């Protein structure tokens, strides 16, 4: 039965996708063989506020993106997650058991999270080398939690997610190569959790841009780099026992109790003592009595299994207004795919 409990809230807690914003490459020097275009850039009279220093950049023969943009992103991501410091509590009409750590007798297997998110990313270049942006979106998350003990069990929970955040990107050139450092912070609110999960993402990219001879405003860029993701580790919440367990658990509760008892009897005395001191026996009793009104409290720390992964990306710029890009996380535990459309304009 205990397993059911775990099946109940653990999955409910673990749905935490995150969205990442990607800014386009920054200022680029136009090749000398496109001298006519370079000369025209130097003659630009730039009367707009942003980016600050925009006039000086044009006078130096550098081309820069239009300062304001709106990007639409669709992202898929799958990664492994780690769970520890698992805690359980129970509240009924006549008892109130506080959260108690159950790590000594609950063992997890390989857990994973898959998310699909879409977001809108408005941005502005404050300086030719500094971009500031916001992130607003929603999506769906699927978390798979595998229990090894007390009973082997796989639980899958799906839920919707809302995302809000902001980010900064710095970009500069080193010879023919451009470099960008992108950092953002998002608050992701799954529908089944009381509080939003904070996620921070850092991206480092090195790329090169190739312009078209007949259309200097049109170009193709490729890049490689790495992405690091960190999330707020602590999750605390509560759920009604009837809502936490699927109907089949209640229909076959005698079987679950028997499996729990077999597992319990196999444990040494000191582990049994810890189990007895936890809320787990009371939760099992509620299940056995088909009493779903009790409130199960839970707490846990969770984190991505691997913070860093490698990324490869490409962007096609049709003109200074329209850009299309894709980026893939292919190296490391985290796998991801990004597709985006960016529209830019003068303020």
What pLDDT is attached to residue 128? 92
DSSP 8-state symbol, 216: T
Instruction: Report how far apart, in Å, the C-alpha atoms of 256 and of each of 149, 214, 247 are.
Output: 13, 71, 13
114 by DSSP, 3-state: which?
A: strand
Residues 333 and 321: their CA atoms lie apart, in Å, by 35
What pLDDT is attached to residue 21? 39
Give the residue among 114, 116, 61, 108 at the shortest CA–CA distance from 84. 108
Give the residue among 141, 305, 336, 139 at the shortest CA–CA distance from 226. 336
Question: Could you count the other beta carbons within 10 Å of the beta carbon of residue 125?
Answer: 27
Scanning 252-320, the segments in alpha helix (DSSP H) are 253-265, 269-277, 280-288
What pLDDT is attached to residue 31? 54
Domain boundaries, the chain: 2-345
In this prediction, the residues of the chain whose per-residue pLDDT falls under 50 are 1-27, 30
What pLDDT is attached to residue 39? 73
Question: Could you count the other beta carbons within 10 Å of the beta carbon of residue 194?
Answer: 12
What pLDDT is attached to residue 200? 94
**CATH C-level class of 2-345:** mainly beta
Cα maximum dimension of the chain? 85
Joined tokens for residue 99: 């959260």
What pLDDT is attached to residue 34? 66
Residues 33 and 15: their CA atoms lie apart, in Å, by 52
Across the strands, what pairs with 329?
311, 336
b/e burial code for range 134-146 (CB count within 10 A of at least 16 → b): bbebebbbbbbbb
What pLDDT is attached to residue 23? 42
Residues 144 and 156: their CA atoms lie apart, in Å, by 4
The residues, ordered by sequence, that sit 6+ positions from 142 with a Cβ below 8 Å of its Cβ are 15, 113, 114, 115, 156, 157, 158
């Amino acid at each position: 039965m205990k397993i059911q409990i775990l099946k109940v809230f653990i999955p409910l807690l673990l749905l935490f996708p995150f969205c990442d914003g990607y800014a386009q490459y920054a200022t680029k020097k136009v090749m000398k063989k496109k001298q006519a275009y370079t000369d025209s850039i130097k003659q630009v009279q730039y009367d707009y506020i942003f980016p600050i220093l925009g006039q000086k950049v044009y006078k130096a023969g550098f081309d820069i993106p239009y300062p304001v943009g709106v990007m639409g992103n669709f992202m898929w991501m799958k990664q492994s997650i780690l769970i520890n410091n698992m805690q359980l509590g129970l509240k009924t009409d006549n008892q109130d058991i506080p959260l108690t750590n159950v790590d000594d007798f609950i063992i997890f297997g390989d857990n994973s999270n898959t998310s699909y998110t879409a977001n809108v990313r408005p941005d502005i270049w404050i300086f030719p080398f500094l971009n500031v942006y916001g992130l607003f979106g929603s999506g769906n998350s699927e978390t798979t939690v595998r229990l090894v003990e007390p009973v082997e069990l796989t639980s899958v929970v799906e839920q919707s997610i809302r995302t809000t955040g902001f980010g900064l990107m710095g970009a500069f050139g080193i010879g023919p190569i451009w470099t960008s450092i992108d950092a953002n912070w998002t608050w992701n609110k799954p529908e089944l959790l009381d509080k939003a999960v904070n996620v921070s993402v850092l991206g480092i990219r090195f790329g090169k841009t190739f312009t078209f001879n007949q259309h200097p405003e049109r170009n193709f860029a490729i890049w490689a780099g790495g992405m690091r993701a960190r999330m707020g580790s602590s999750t605390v919440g509560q759920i009604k026992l009837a809502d936490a367990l699927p109907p089949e658990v209640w229909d076959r509760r005698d079987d679950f109790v028997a499996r729990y008892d077999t597992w319990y009897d196999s444990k040494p005395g000191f582990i049994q003592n810890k189990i007895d001191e936890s809320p787990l026996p009371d939760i099992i009793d509620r299940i056995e009595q088909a009493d779903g009104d009790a409130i199960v409290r839970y707490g846990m720390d969770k984190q991505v299994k691997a913070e860093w992964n490698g990324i490869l990306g490409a962007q096609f710029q049709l003109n200074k207004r329209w850009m299309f890009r894709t980026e893939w996380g292919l190296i490391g535990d985290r796998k991801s795919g990004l597709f985006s459309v960016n529209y830019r304009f003068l303020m």
